[in-house]
């Protein structure tokens, strides 16, 4: 095996692609894919650059999708986050794990795959806003793409999603997401004179929400969870009770309870002295089921020569949009390294994923020869 997937990762890491500043990386990928015979288009939506690349080889299309944007590196790095550094078999850099490593392995696997005879067309979709998921990324890109293509059989996202080992988990769906913002406005005063501190009632409400049990999950999804993500009074001194306090929460919810049921249950825990804003960001979904799920699992297990797990654990991704148009699976590196300081992917995992993605593409190509199946 050559090192082209490592070289591609090195190039992609060198682009500072903090959301949505991805245009240089998008243009680089466009030129690379053009050399391999792809027809390309940069789809600019608002401030987000996205890329569509298509290679027409038959009436059925495999979609490979990913994102080039990364989160801010923050502090605590030993190495320059935008320069690939290898040490003890680990490749360090922002986005190496989420998801430029998997994406580089998949793109080079596509290059290797298209050298083989096949009736399977390839669509590559790259977005620039997955880390914040506005309407300008995959949603806008698919609105454009489906004006011309609607023959997708399955989508593969080389996303970091594995609980442990690269490639050994097939993610077929995800829980939904809901944000809660609470605000309490009360009397500002000196601590020595305050008798009814509205912050105390607010903290009681926060505790009630944190301890609220939503459900126990089911065979498809983990239990729903509510997490406190921020609490703020904007107060820099100790002898003032501030007039305002806010808190933010996120709920990851399954299909046991409806979003409306959850909203009503949350509202029942909040007194009328506190203002609540509750927004459903996404619904839970299963993106691949039935025969396609079983066939994909068989292909992966054959490639790895071991049994793999299938599930819905982990965070949201562009599968949230893609599943509305096609069966979609996520297969990639361990999620535990995503968004960390000194983020890395191992060289061995890069090699493993490149081979796995190639085997998946070959396996799907063989499947579509049975026209009745697809």
| Shared domain check, 358 and 329 | yes
C-alpha distances out from residue 306 to 96, 113, 168, 303, 350, Å: 25, 23, 8, 8, 18
Instruction: With a cut of 80, say whether residue 159 has pLDDT above it.
Output: yes
| Shared domain check, 142 and 27 | yes
d(CA 139, CA 319): 10
| Shared domain check, 267 and 291 | no
Strand partners, 189: 241
- In a domain, residue 229? The reply is yes
Residue 211 CB neighbour total at 10 angstroms: 9
| Shared domain check, 132 and 28 | yes
**Boundary residue ending a domain (282, 309, 337):** 282
| Shared domain check, 197 and 273 | yes
Per-residue model confidence as pLDDT tens digits over 56-100: 999 899 999 999 999 999 999 999 999 999 999 999 999 999 999
Strand partners, 267: none
Edge-to-edge order in the sheet of strand 225-232: 225-232, 244-253, 176-185, 274-282
Q: How would you class 301 by CB atoms within 10 Å of its CB: exposed for 0-12, middle for 13-18, buried for 19 or more?
A: middle
Per-residue model confidence as pLDDT tens digits over 281-338: 999 999 998 999 999 999 999 999 999 999 999 989 999 999 999 999 999 999 999 9
Residue 245 near residue 273 (C-beta atoms within 8 A): no
**Any idea of the CA torsion for 107, 108, 112, 115, to the nearest 10 degrees?**
60
Strand partners, 246: 183, 232
| Shared domain check, 153 and 119 | yes
d(CA 193, CA 249): 32
| Shared domain check, 305 and 263 | no
Per-residue model confidence as pLDDT tens digits over 2-39: 999 999 999 999 999 999 999 999 999 999 999 999 99
How many Å from the N-terminal Cα to the C-terminal Cα in the chain?
32
Coil/strand/helix, residue 107: helix
- The predicted pLDDT at position 371 comes to 58
Q: How would you class 221 by CB atoms within 10 Å of its CB: exposed for 0-12, middle for 13-18, buried for 19 or more?
A: buried
| Shared domain check, 30 and 98 | yes
- In a domain, residue 373? The reply is no
Coil/strand/helix, residue 70: strand
| Average pLDDT of every residue of the chain | 95
Q: How would you class 80 by CB atoms within 10 Å of its CB: exposed for 0-12, middle for 13-18, buried for 19 or more?
A: middle
- The predicted pLDDT at position 286 comes to 97
- Residue 290: its H or E element: helix 290-304
Residue 186 near residue 198 (C-beta atoms within 8 A): yes
| Shared domain check, 266 and 216 | yes
d(CA 364, CA 116): 13
- In a domain, residue 372? The reply is no
- In a domain, residue 133? The reply is yes
C-alpha 212 chain-centroid distance: 27
Name the residue among 364, 361, 351 with its Cα closest to residue 167.
351
**Is the pTM for the entire model greater than 0.95?**
no
E strand spans, 11-135: 39-45, 48-55, 60-67, 85-87, 90-92, 120-127
Q: What is the CATH number of the domain that holds 259?
A: 3.30.70.360
Q: What is the CATH number of the domain that holds 14?
A: 3.40.630.10
Q: Which domain holds residue 247?
A: 179-282
Instruction: With a cut of 70, say whether residue 265 has pLDDT above it.
Output: yes
Residue 299 CB neighbour total at 10 angstroms: 20
Q: Which residues are catalytic?
A: 69, 130
Instruction: With a cut of 90, say whether residue 340 has pLDDT above it.
Output: yes
**Boundary residue ending a domain (282, 314, 343):** 282
- In a domain, residue 237? The reply is yes
Instruction: With a cut of 80, say whether residue 372 has pLDDT above it.
Output: no
d(CA 266, CA 107): 44
Residue 55 near residue 122 (C-beta atoms within 8 A): yes
What does the block give as tokens for 186? 């009360």
Name the residue among 236, 238, 240, 241 with its Cα closest to residue 202.
241
| Shared domain check, 85 and 67 | yes
Number of domains the chain is built from: 2
**DSSP codes joined into one string, 149-209:** ---EEEEEE--S-BSSSTT-EEE-EE-EEEEEEEEEE---EETTT-SS-HHHHHHHHHHHH
**Boundary residue ending a domain (282, 310, 342):** 282
Q: Grade residue 369 by pLDDT with cuts at 50, 70 and 90.
A: confident
| Shared domain check, 97 and 125 | yes
- The predicted pLDDT at position 374 comes to 47
Residue given tokens 């501190």 in the structure block? 197
- In a domain, residue 238? The reply is yes
| Shared domain check, 288 and 278 | no
């Amino acid at each position: 095996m050559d090192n082209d997937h490592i070289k591609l990762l090195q190039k992609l890491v060198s682009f500072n692609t903090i959301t949505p500043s991805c245009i240089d990386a998008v243009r680089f990928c466009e030129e690379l894919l053009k050399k391999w015979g792809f027809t390309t288009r940069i789809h600019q939506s608002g401030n987000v650059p996205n890329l569509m690349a298509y290679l027409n080889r038959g009436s059925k299309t495999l979609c490979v999708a990913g994102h080039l944007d990364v989160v801010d590196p923050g502090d605590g790095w030993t190495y320059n986050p935008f320069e690939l550094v290898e040490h003890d078999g680990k490749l360090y850099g922002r986005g190496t794990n989420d998801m430029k490593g998997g994406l580089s392995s998949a793109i080079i696997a596509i290059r290797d795959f298209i050298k083989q005879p096949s009736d399977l067309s390839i669509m590559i979709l790259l977005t620039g806003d997955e880390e914040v998921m506005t309407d300008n990324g995959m949603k806008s890109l698919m609105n454009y793409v489906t004006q011309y293509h609607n023959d997708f059989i399955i989508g593969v996202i080389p996303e970091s999603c594995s609980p442990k080992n690269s490639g050994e988990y097939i993610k077929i769906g995800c829980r939904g997401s809901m944000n809660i913002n609470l605000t309490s406005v009360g009397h500002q005063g000196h601590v020595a004179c305050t008798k009814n501190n509205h912050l105390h009632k607010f903290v009681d409400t926060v505790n009630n929400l944190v301890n609220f049990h939503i459900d126990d999950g089911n065979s498809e999804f983990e239990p729903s969870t509510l997490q406190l993500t921020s609490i703020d009074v904007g107060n820099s001194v100790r002898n003032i009770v501030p007039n305002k306090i806010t808190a933010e929460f996120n709920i990851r919810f399954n299909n046991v309870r409806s979003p409306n049921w959850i909203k009503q249950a949350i509202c029942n825990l909040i007194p009328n002295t506190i203002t609540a804003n509750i927004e459903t960001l996404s619904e839970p979904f299963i993106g691949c089921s039935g025969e396609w799920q079983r066939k994909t699992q068989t292909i992966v297990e054959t490639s790895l020569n071991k049994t793999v797990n299938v599930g819905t654990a982990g965070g949201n991704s562009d599968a949230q949009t893609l599943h509305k148009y096609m069966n979609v699976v996520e297969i990639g590196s361990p999620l535990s390294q995503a968004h960390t300081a000194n983020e890395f992917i191992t060289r061995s995992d890069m090699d493993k994923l490149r081979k796995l993605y190639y085997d998946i593409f070959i396996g799907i190509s063989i499947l579509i020869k049975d026209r009745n199946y697809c």
